């Protein structure tokens, strides 16, 4: 349950619901944008668009929020759908080239570290299936629990665990050469 914005408050008068939603937006905006950035593949402008559209859609559907799930779960399901829509659109977009394509700046450009390594990791994440990537981003990059991730994606927690395991195996294989040379390579089998 989101601290400060409970289901009881969301069931109040329309202006009370809007005030609660405004508080929710203020508390979740950065995390939602960061999550969208990871789900759309590191495009800052697209992440901002996806986040804005998810908040707009949630606001428009606020009167239909029944409180059967937490507001956070309800919203993140909307955000994930918006990210799916964007990725589908991005896959089809090259079929209709525009005259001038602007290159989006790398939002991690100011971050310390090896840019080649960041590209390798981003490429490795892109090699995951959509479901594996979503589970990995929610749990390992955003710090949600497996159960929260399952709630957000509308899947059983066992399915999320399976997606996480497969994602980790693929990432270990894809990034195996980054081992520190101690011979302690990450294990890909179950223990």
* Highest mean pLDDT (candidates 60-64, 120-124, 145-149): 145-149
Quick one: pLDDT at residue 68?
77
For the chain, where do the domains classified as CATH 1.10.1740.10 start and end? Answer: 1-94
Quick one: pLDDT at residue 31?
92
Query: CA 140, 142, 148 angle in degrees (round to 5)?
Result: 85
pLDDT at 137 over 90: no
Mean pLDDT for the stretch of residues 105-113? 48
How far is CA 96 from its chain centroid?
A: 27
Tell me the C-alpha distance between 86 and 88, whole Å.
5
Mean pLDDT for the stretch of residues 90-103? 52
Mean pLDDT for the stretch of residues 1-7? 41
Tell me the C-alpha distance between 151 and 92, whole Å.
29
pLDDT at 160 over 90: yes
Mean pLDDT for the stretch of residues 152-163? 92
CATH architecture under which domain 114-176 falls: Orthogonal Bundle (1.10)
pLDDT at 156 over 80: yes
Residue-averaged pLDDT of the chain? 76
Mean pLDDT for the stretch of residues 42-46? 85
Tell me the C-alpha distance between 4 and 24, whole Å.
8
11-15, 37-41, 112-116, 137-141: segment of lowest average pLDDT:
11-15
Identify the band that residue 120 occupies on the pLDDT scale cut at 50, 70 and 90: confident
pLDDT at 140 over 90: no
Quick one: pLDDT at residue 8?
43
pLDDT at 72 over 80: yes
For the chain, where do the domains classified as CATH 1.10.10.10 start and end? Answer: 114-176
Identify the band that residue 3 occupies on the pLDDT scale cut at 50, 70 and 90: very low
Quick one: fold of 1-94?
Rna Polymerase Sigma Factor; Chain: A (1.10.1740)
Quick one: pLDDT at residue 21?
81
Quick one: pLDDT at residue 108?
44
Name the nearest CA neighbour of 73 among 130, 118, 10. Answer: 10
């Amino acid at each position: 349950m989101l601290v400060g914005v409970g289901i009881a408050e969301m069931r109040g008068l329309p202006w009370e619901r809007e005030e609660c939603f405004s508080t929710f937006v203020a508390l979740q905006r950065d995390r939602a944008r960061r999550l969208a950035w990871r789900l759309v593949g590191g495009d800052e402008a697209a992440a901002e668009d996806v986040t804005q559209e998810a908040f707009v859609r949630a606001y428009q559907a606020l009167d239909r929020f029944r409180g059967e799930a937490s507001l956070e779960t309800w919203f993140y399901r909307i955000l994930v759908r918006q990210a799916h829509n964007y990725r589908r659109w991005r896959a089809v977009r090259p079929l209709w080239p525009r005259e001038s394509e602007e290159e989006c700046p790398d939002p991690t450009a100011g971050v310390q570290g090896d840019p080649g390594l960041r590209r390798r990791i981003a490429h490795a994440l892109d090699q995951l299936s959509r479901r594996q990537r979503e589970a990995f981003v929610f749990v390992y990059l955003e710090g949600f629990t497996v159960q929260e991730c399952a709630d957000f994606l509308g899947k059983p927690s066992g399915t999320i665990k399976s997606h996480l395991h497969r994602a980790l195996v693929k990432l270990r294989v894809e990034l195996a050469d980054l081992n520190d040379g101690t011979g302690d390579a990450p294990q890909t089998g179950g223990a």
